Amino acid sequence: MNIQGFLFSTVEAAIKKPGRRDLALIYSEVPATAAAVFTTSTVKAAPVLVSCEHIACGTAQALIVNSGNANACTGEPGMIVAKETAHLVAHRLGIDDSAVQVCSTGVIGVPLPLERISSAIPQLVEGLSSGTLDDVAQAIMTTDTFPKMEAVCGTAGGKTYSVAGIAKGAGMIMPNMATMLSFIITDAAVDSDFLQKLFRNAVDCSFNAITVDGDMSTNDTCLIMANGMAQNPLIREGSIEGETFAALVCDVLLSLAKLIVKDGEGATKFVEIRVSGAKDNSDAKRAAMAIANSSLVKTAFFGQDANWGRIFAAVGYSGAEVDQSRLSLRFDDVCMARDGIFAGGDAEALGTEILKQKEFTVSVDLGIGSGTATVYTSDLTHEYVSINADYRS
Amino acid sequence: MNIQGFLFSTVEAAIKKPGRRDLALIYSEVPATAAAVFTTSTVKAAPVLVSCEHIACGTAQALIVNSGNANACTGEPGMIVAKETAHLVAHRLGIDDSAVQVCSTGVIGVPLPLERISSAIPQLVEGLSSGTLDDVAQAIMTTDTFPKMEAVCGTAGGKTYSVAGIAKGAGMIMPNMATMLSFIITDAAVDSDFLQKLFRNAVDCSFNAITVDGDMSTNDTCLIMANGMAQNPLIREGSIEGETFAALVCDVLLSLAKLIVKDGEGATKFVEIRVSGAKDNSDAKRAAMAIANSSLVKTAFFGQDANWGRIFAAVGYSGAEVDQSRLSLRFDDVCMARDGIFAGGDAEALGTEILKQKEFTVSVDLGIGSGTATVYTSDLTHEYVSINADYRS
């Protein structure tokens, strides 16, 4: 996959521990149209505040990201580190500070040592011709067990372009705290307003289908850069090319989002939760998220226990409008309950077999309207507790 | 502790498994003024629907409760079982069906076998002279590791009365699903309207300080019966006696609520979360509950890891108004962070020592107003996962 005009570099800055590349740079040879979605938490990390200000103009040319330290809850000193990081990168690359996006992920509340970053930047910039996007995907990992990357191609006005993305995040079992970073790059030329709009929509149907709005970490950032090096005619809203491009971006984000769930901390199951028959789509999302976030449902998945009653109970407290006598539930194609009660027959045995699979679908029909939603979740395991009890040690 | 006019009985009905007393009866020799608070879930168990209807008149004389089966998501057959249970008890006792409260706790979605209950009722009623409230506290346990009981005395008009309560529930680590049952009995004579009001307030400052409003199970029920056998002048709102009585009921409920947290499934820590300086009390509660419910905060407690950043992050997504530069945090009397950043010095080492204790307090000051809230929580452990992965086996 060749995404024209983008260069990559990674180095070991030993921010948390030595022994791995923990600082990465993505650089576009020309300024790129850019859009970003940041955490909605009121406690925002310094790099989020800096990046949010920098991207206000709708363009970006470089992105520097470190793992091992979130630079969150670090006060004014943290802001200085984030700004100085952008400045040093900009200076080396000969671009404006505001063209640099800064991202961090890792432990909260520990000062991020500027000197380790500043001393690594020369080597980082020098290495730009030799790195790959895959190297960056590796460098941004924290508790992730594998790097997450996806790429697709499209055409516009006879020109072929590529859309590639990487992501990190493995704490989606409890989506509201694990930092989720995702960077999408494309060599397509895209209208700026359209890029903002389609990117927000794509985030809603992907990363926001594995997390709850407003329940994000201090550092969550999704960013897209479109540098136009494919030399296609500008992709605009309302065109066939626009629809295709938006769909491709959605595909890339949804693939990355699913990879995050599959890499969920300690996860042994990948579960698709589909809710239908809700009063409206918001109600469906509410019910689906209540199921997906319930510790009792998730431990039952881990235990391969077809305890469908816990799923109905989660729907009951979700806030969605419910008539309990109309609820039905399936594990894959096995009906576990209908009209609010157990389906009987072999359902228990068949449902248990479904839950023994590594991946399965839970479908709940509320039976009162036409609202639908799909979200993705994993199970809650001993390993999740181990990972998070010992995270800083 | 003698609560005049109340009798108790327990029997083995082998509802889920043989080998323990799982059916209990509380009976007042005279009709009692009564008040109850039920789950706000839209998926309500059959006994909740029946009890809610029965208590509408503000009186009750008997309460039958089983463990081992929640009789929830059991449809119309479940309603028939709940109603018939009340009817059989009423018939034996020679009282109206509507004077009988029915409660169930246990697995959801499994039909409750009426015949096991109906065949046990004669023995249950016959045993009324020999049982104790402690027996009932034992019989309603599910994953609880100890029975929960509290009793206090008061006086009104020269007469001494008693207030005693029992509770079950051990899943408060994830408060929104584990059935919480609590039954309070008193021989005081209390004005009916006042009893309704003070009981709801008492639930708010106790059980609702360990759970989120609207995040309850299908079966949650708190009930109080006041039979007046202490022959005190009627306790009314606006009197000294009324204030005393309300405070005693609050004390009993708060003690029981704390016992539930201490018996939290798999819990090794009991943590009091105090939030101050919020815009208002609701915001304080929001922030406190976000901390108390965060899987990452709770696993850090389990790991005895003074990871205060996760606490600020939880405050950040709580929905409470926050100025991150004004946040401060203490573990007991050790200041971990002030003005939004790490307090420095020995805080890390001292904080870690605090977290090694079995009980400690986390105090967060939002620094912007005068709103306060206190909630109680426990840690999230391997044992929690084990208990809930294997619950039905």
Could you tell me which residue, A22 or B172, shows the higher pLDDT?
A22
pLDDT band at A208 (very low <50, low <70, confident <90, very high): confident
Chain A residues touching B178 at Cβ < 8 A? 296
Q: Check: CB of residue A272 under 8 Å from CB of residue A376.
A: yes
Q: Which CATH number fits domain B6-262: 3.60.70.12, 3.20.20.70, 2.60.120.260, 1.10.1660.10?
A: 3.60.70.12
Query: What are the φ/ψ torsions at residue B385 (nearest 5 degrees)?
Result: -65, -45
Q: How many alpha carbons lie under 13 Å from residue B370 in its C-beta half-sphere?
A: 0
Per-residue pLDDT band for A175 (boundaries 50, 70, 90) equals very low
Answer for the pair A297, A314: CB distance below 8 angstroms, yes or no: yes
Which residue from A253, A203, A189, A232 is spatially nearest to A30, judged by alpha carbons?
A189
A296 with B174: Cβ contact below 8 A: yes
The pTM of the full predicted model, rounded to 2 decimals, is 0.82
* Interface size, chain A vs chain B, as Cβ–Cβ contacts under 8 Å: 232
- Worst-scoring range by mean pLDDT, A128-137, A358-367, A379-388? A379-388
Q: pLDDT tier at B178 (50, 70, 90 boundaries)?
A: low
Backbone angles phi, psi at B290, to 5 degrees: -60, -40
Nearest to A169 by CA among A256, A253, A238, A89: A256
Could you tell me the pLDDT band of residue A39, with boundaries at 50, 70 and 90?
Answer: confident
As a whole number of angstroms, the distance between CA B95 and CA B279 comes to 51
Of A40, A75, A337, the CB nearest to B109: A337
pLDDT at A174: 44
To the nearest whole Å, the CA of A55 is away from the closest chain B CA by 22
Paired sense of beta strands B159-168 and B148-156, if any: antiparallel
Q: Which residues contact B390 (CB under 8 A, 6 or more apart)?
A: A303, A305
CA distance A31 to A99: 8
User: Do B312 and A107 lie within an 8 Å CB cutoff?
Assistant: no
Q: From the CA of A244, how many Å to the nearest CA of chain B?
A: 35
* pLDDT score recorded for residue A116: 96
- The 10s digit of each residue's pLDDT in B67-119 is 999 999 999 999 999 999 999 999 999 999 999 999 999 888 899 999 999 99
The mean-pLDDT minimum among A258-272, A345-359, B5-19, B42-56 falls in A258-272
For residue A333, which amino acid is it?
A: D
Token readout for B14 is 């082998």
Structure tokens at A299: 């431990």
Mean pLDDT, range A98-104, rounded to an integer: 97
B341 touches chain A (CB under 8 A): yes
Q: Which residues of B touch A208 (CB under 8 A)?
A: none
Name the residue of chain A whose CA is nearest to B179's CA.
Answer: A313
Q: What is the pLDDT of residues B193-249, one digit of tens each?
A: 999 999 999 998 888 888 543 345 788 899 999 999 999 999 999 999 999 999 999
Which of B74, B173, B382 lies nearest to residue A341, judging by beta carbons?
B74
The predicted pLDDT at position A173 comes to 42
Please tell me which residue of chain A has the smallest CA distance to B308.
Answer: A109
More confident residue, A174 or A134: A134
- What residue ranges do the domains of chain A occupy? 6-262, 270-389
Of A73, A309, A315, the CB nearest to B109: A309
Rounded to the nearest integer, the mean pLDDT of chain A is: 91
Is residue A278 scored above 50 in pLDDT? yes
Asked if A296 and B388 come within 8 Å (Cβ–Cβ), the reply is yes
Give yes or no for residue B179 having a pLDDT over 80: no
The pLDDT value given to residue A176? 42
Question: Catalytic site residues of B?
Answer: 179
Tell me the average pLDDT across A139-151: 91
Three-state DSSP at B44 gives coil
How far are the Cα atoms of A21, A141, A183 from residue A138, in angstroms, in the given order? 8, 6, 13
pLDDT digits (tens, 9 = 90+) for B121-160: 999 999 998 999 999 999 999 878 899 999 999 999 999 9
Residue A81: partners with Cβ closer than 8 Å, 6 or more residues away? A46, A71, A74, A111, A112, A114, A117
Chain A CB within 8 Å of residue B70 CB: yes
Name every residue whose Cβ is closer than 8 Å to that of residue A277 and which is 6 or more positions away in sequence: A326, A365, A366, A367, A368, A369, A370, A371, A372
B chain contacts of residue A41, beta-carbon cutoff 8 Å: 313, 316-317
The distance of B220 to chain A (nearest Cα, Å) reads 12
pLDDT at B267 over 90: no
A212 has pLDDT over 50? no
- Out of B109, B215, B382, closest to residue A317 by CB: B215
Say if A41 is an interface residue toward chain B (CB within 8 Å). Answer: yes
For residues B317-330, average pLDDT: 94
Inter-residue contact B150 to B252 (CB < 8 Å): yes
pLDDT for the residue B294? 84
SS3 of residue B23 by DSSP: strand
CATH match of B270-389 with 3.90.320.10: no
Is A390–B305 a contact, with Cβ atoms under 8 angstroms apart? yes
Q: Is A16 on the interface with B (CB under 8 A)?
A: no
Which chain B positions have a beta carbon within 8 Å of A388's beta carbon? Answer: 295-296, 299-300, 303
Q: How far apart are CA A328 and CA A313, in angstroms?
A: 13
Answer yes or no: are the C-beta atoms of B26 and B136 closer than 8 Å.
yes
